[in-house]
Structure 1
Amino acid sequence: MKKKSLFLALLLCAGMGQLPASAQYHSKVWDPDLGNGMYKNPVLFADYSDPDAIAVGEDYYLTASSFNCIPGLPILHSKDLVNWEIIGHALNRQQPDSLFGKPQHGKGVWAPSIRYHKGEYFIYWGDPDQGIMRVSARQPQGPWGQPECVIAGKGMIDSCPLWDDDGHCYLVNGWAGSRAGFNSVLTMWELSADGSHAISAPRIVYDGGQLNHTTEGPKLYKHNGWYWILCPAGGVEHGWQLAMRARSPFGPYEARTVMRQGYTNINGPHQGAWVHTALGEGWFLHFNDRNAYGRVVYLQPMAWKGGWPVIGNDKDGDGCGEPYATYRKPKSNSKTRVNPQETDEFNTGELGLQWQWQANYNPLWGMPTANGTMRLYNADEQPGTGLWQAGNLLLQKLPAPTLTATAKMRVTAKSDGQYGGVVVMGMNYQALVCRRKGNKFELLQINCKDADRQGKETEKILATLEPTEVDTIPYSPAIHEDIYLRIRIDKGQARFSYSLDNKHYHSAGDSFSLRKGKWIGAKMGLVSMRPGTTGNRGWVDADWFRVE
């Protein structure tokens, strides 16, 4: 294993540090910058669903839904809206801890908005089970304060504030039919001048009805004396983008469709952020649903024609654009080429910002080590629950349609049944692990279908492995396996393989069709588990995780 200095003894949670500017990451699997003044969509081929972004001078900051994953509310930075890197997270723990200490798939952070007001950054979001929440910070990379409840209640989602020219503050939000019993409506509140609490009752300012059903995800702006709500309608996979305007924040609003799929193969292009750049251009970031890969982020030009925004390619001049697959880059003074982090050598003593847990972090799950590894202790596996309910899975988003991810690790087991390895997680999932049986390891494939519906895991033993090393100490001796585990993903299919020398790889088990998680894309990463809750834990020491 590599020997590197440790400059943080442990992490309270993944993603607490900021990537130094000198360590700009370049992806081997997806780079939207074509290098000739053009870019290709998506600019983020990863599940940054419900994106929102702002311009602060010549810097751009983006956040996105994170649901139950922790750390949550990722913060990405760009100088040109095409080249992005992760610089932090705004949410280190979700409350209450008694709930989010275990996976709560699909709950938590829905459709946030990020805003900059009087030298402070704010992120508002809707937790459908608790109400409208917010956090704030003086710097976008943090530290961010503790979450505050702005409006308590059930069913409120997708919130966005606006500080008006006269100092008044307003907030628009959508509603979750699964909690409220109704949806497709947008409501407006007046907040206190500091945006901390409501000072008015809500008012319905738009009802999508049948024409614009599933109206949600609103973003609130003011432009040329008009109040604007930009929002999607029609649902994630088949919807379209609306713009609506009124002379008062409380309406009535007139609505138009300003972008739809049209004759392109980019389905459901909607829900995102209007960004007005320091160099005078308008751009719109939105998502496109890619099934198991999640909702990836596209960038479109946005122009104003006849007092209305038009997004994308309005080739027939009807005021409703179609998304571009490629386009010229936004005007920028930056020449930086950078991508969101994927590979992690685990050398710094800090967990890379690309990693998330399935629940609030527990130090018993593991931490970085002083010798350049990430140690994951076995978590307690409750009978019948499977990995769907394992909070300690260390996962990251899939960053491209085709990729190979390889992990070098040492699996250490103190007793029978303890195991570690790699996993592709979603409502269907598959893992390749080494599990102790007696004084040897079994190479094991774990499968589960319909995990969100209490689907049960099945196992297939693929090989028996002699341990690399066996402890000779009399107290709680362990056996160890040094192994390379690989995930190959191509067009929605995954296949695993393994090697004992990183030269000769052997196919392992059956191929696997990816399936998304609850409101998120499928993810990949590391697993370390034990049956039951007693005895000394085994662990996995991951030396590196490389994506190429």
Structure 2
Amino acid sequence: MVKAAWLASATVLAMAGLSAAQAQVWRSDQGDGTFRNPILYADYPDPDIIRVGEDFYFVSTTFANAPGVTLLHSRDLVNWKIVGHVVPRLDGSPKFDLEDGGSYRTGFFAASLRHHGGTFYIAITPVGHKTRIYRSKAITGPWTYNEIDREAFDPGLFFDDDGKAYIATSIGSDGTVTLLSLNKDLTAVTSSKVIHYVQGIEGSKLIKRKGTYYLFNALPRRLELLVSRSKSLDGPWETRPQISTSGKTGGHQGALVDLPDGRDFGFVMFDAGSIGRMTNISPVHWVDGWPVWGTPEQPGRVPDRALKPIQGQPFSEPPTTDNFAGRTLGLQWQWNHNPDNSRWSLTQRPGFLRLHATRAPDLWSARNTLVQKGQGPRARATIKASLAGIRQGDVCGLGTFGKFSPQLAISGESGGRRSLRMQVTESTVEGPKTEVRERAIAIRGGNVWLRTDLDFTSDLGRVAYSLDARRWTYVGGTFPLKFDWRTGTFQGEQIAISCYNPGAKGGFLDVDSFTLAKF
């Protein structure tokens, strides 16, 4: 049945042509004044959302990807677009350049975004490093940073009514919430005090409503969001469970954001399987001074569908499709680690992305793998690639990147011949293991179209190729899609364009276009 479904969808899309390639993968805004959760059907983990005037801003972590720490903008909490990244190039460790095993699963963890006195501030901690305070007058940057004297896990930045700045921090392996007081320019910790404890909580976020402080914490082992309240930052704190994950009805890391009319809306991250960790929003009502997610009719439940918090804003979404006609990459793209900028170009052949083969034994170890987030529920990624630059030993193509990293690769053979191979690299505790799934398929001509199908409803993917963009051939069978924070990337499955060579200097892959569509 699965195979039949894949073949049927292949036939439908092949006949649909350009209109299918331009279809939206997911649309939260239903066009009738309502929205559906999630607001973005993709891996935007560890959310923090604030409002400045009529504008909402959303920060999400990106681990070792570069540029790092994604920023989005919305006018209604439903329709979002990417406006930039906080960290153009990760600094502070050679691992960020994919040396010494790289920084998969580490890098930059959860961030806290605030606006105070005309300046945006972001508190964030690269794993194993001291906490950084980034600042910028504009959400689009440029951002500068200073370090404080310690590593505060998942720092929750907070400005009180008198302008004093604090960081609340806790780590799930313990559960102690520590409050750090900062000096006026946020460059140093002036005092530290334990203010609360709940075994296993982390991801602290602080807000204030009507003279009461509210502390939000994730309880990952129970996939639960807790809210605590106190009249003093020092406590004592009362704590109540707020919501727990059950399909799309809950989540565990989140907080509140206020609307221009004074209402509050909740946001919360939930674990969604192979696509990663997504963000829901929810109406909030207040009962006896406690915020309650959901409606009075269904309290404690994040709705699958609800009225948009703000009406009348146009549809927008993060970009996906790219013709590589510009001089800079679109904001949807990131590299698997800091790239070697001498090994890729948008100008050596205008209108094409050129990836020079980097020397690496396998995909997991290769720099300059270009990725963007997988999109759900089902998405089809397609590239048109030129064969002219492929040299002997090159392994260049399209696939996904994560716990399992399948790749439909153009391989250079002796005598100038070229072939296609489907291989799957699995990240394990012993290291990456690559399995070749398909014998070499000889190809000729100047171009080849490669595509990858991602079905997050079944956690399966497939790859296919075409020599004319009309007739498609699947190869290698299905492969699993999986999220694994222990041995994967700590991210949902990403779409990847890559080019490496295990031995020789190698050639290059020219990519004419990339499209992402639903199927």
| TM-score, with length taken from structure 1 | 0.85
| Correspondent of 1:287 among 240, 256, 269 | 269
Residue 340 of structure 2 corresponds to residue 362 of structure 1: yes
Residue 82 of structure 2 corresponds to residue 82 of structure 1: no
**Partner in structure 2 of residue 501 of structure 1:** 468
| Correspondent of 2:148 among 140, 147, 150 | 150
**Partner in structure 1 of residue 13 of structure 2:** none
| Equivalences for residues 197-236 of structure 1 within 5 A | 197-200=188-191, 202-209=192-199, 214-235=200-221
Residue 259 of structure 2 corresponds to residue 277 of structure 1: yes
| Correspondent of 1:430 among 406, 412, 433 | 406
In the TM superposition, what is the alpha-carbon distance from 1:342 to its structure 2 partner? 1.1
Instruction: Tell me the secondary structure at the aligned position of residue 251 of structure 1.
Output: coil
Q: What is the alpha-carbon root mean square deviation over aligned residues?
A: 1.9
Which stretch shows the higher mean deviation, 457-466 or 358-367?
457-466
In the TM superposition, what is the alpha-carbon distance from 1:373 to its structure 2 partner? 1.1
In the TM superposition, what is the alpha-carbon distance from 1:54 to its structure 2 partner? 0.6
Instruction: Name the count of aligned residue pairs.
Output: 486
| Equivalences for residues 57-456 of structure 1 within 5 A | 57-102=53-98, 103-145=102-144, 147-153=145-151, 156-175=152-171, 177=173, 183-200=174-191, 202-209=192-199, 214-235=200-221, 238-261=222-245, 265-266=247-248, 269-315=251-297, 321-332=300-311, 334-369=312-347, 371-382=350-361, 386-413=362-389, 415-438=391-414, 439-456=416-433
**Could you tell me how far apart the structure 2 residues matched to 1:220 and 1:391 are?**
38
In the TM superposition, what is the alpha-carbon distance from 1:449 to its structure 2 partner? 2.8
**Could you tell me how far apart the structure 2 residues matched to 1:398 and 1:360 are?**
20
Instruction: Tell me the secondary structure at the aligned position of residue 543 of structure 1.
Output: strand
In the TM superposition, what is the alpha-carbon distance from 1:286 to its structure 2 partner? 1.1
**Could you tell me how far apart the structure 1 residues matched to 2:253 and 2:438 are?**
45
Contact 1:397/1:524, CA 8 A, preserved across alignment: yes
In the TM superposition, what is the alpha-carbon distance from 1:27 to its structure 2 partner? 6.0
Counterpart AA for 1:222: K
**Partner in structure 1 of residue 6 of structure 2:** none
Residue 425 of structure 2 corresponds to residue 484 of structure 1: no
Q: 1:267 to 1:106 in 2, by over 3 A?
A: farther
**Could you tell me how far apart the structure 1 residues matched to 2:135 and 2:392 are?**
47
Kindly provide the CA deviation profile for residues 418-452 of structure 1, in whole angstroms up to 9, marking residues without a partner as x. 12110211112210001011121121111123445
Contact 1:409/1:484, CA 8 A, preserved across alignment: yes
Contact 1:288/1:297, CA 8 A, preserved across alignment: yes
Kindly provide the CA deviation profile for residues 162-181 of structure 1, in whole angstroms up to 9, marking residues without a partner as x. 1212232111012263xxxx
**Could you tell me how far apart the structure 1 residues matched to 2:161 and 2:249 are?**
37
**Partner in structure 2 of residue 39 of structure 1:** 35
Contact 1:259/1:312, CA 8 A, preserved across alignment: no
**Could you tell me how far apart the structure 1 residues matched to 2:421 and 2:405 are?**
14
- Structure 1: runs of 5 or more not aligned: 1-24, 178-182, 469-480
- Structure 2: runs of 5 or more not aligned: 1-20
**Could you tell me how far apart the structure 1 residues matched to 2:439 and 2:27 are?**
36
In the TM superposition, what is the alpha-carbon distance from 1:258 to its structure 2 partner? 2.0
Contact 1:300/1:312, CA 8 A, preserved across alignment: yes
| Correspondent of 1:523 among 483, 494, 501 | 494
Kindly provide the CA deviation profile for residues 205-242 of structure 1, in whole angstroms up to 9, marking residues without a partner as x. 22113xxxx2111111121112211121143xx41211
Instruction: Tell me the secondary structure at the aligned position of residue 61 of structure 1.
Output: strand
**Could you tell me how far apart the structure 1 residues matched to 2:390 and 2:328 are?**
27
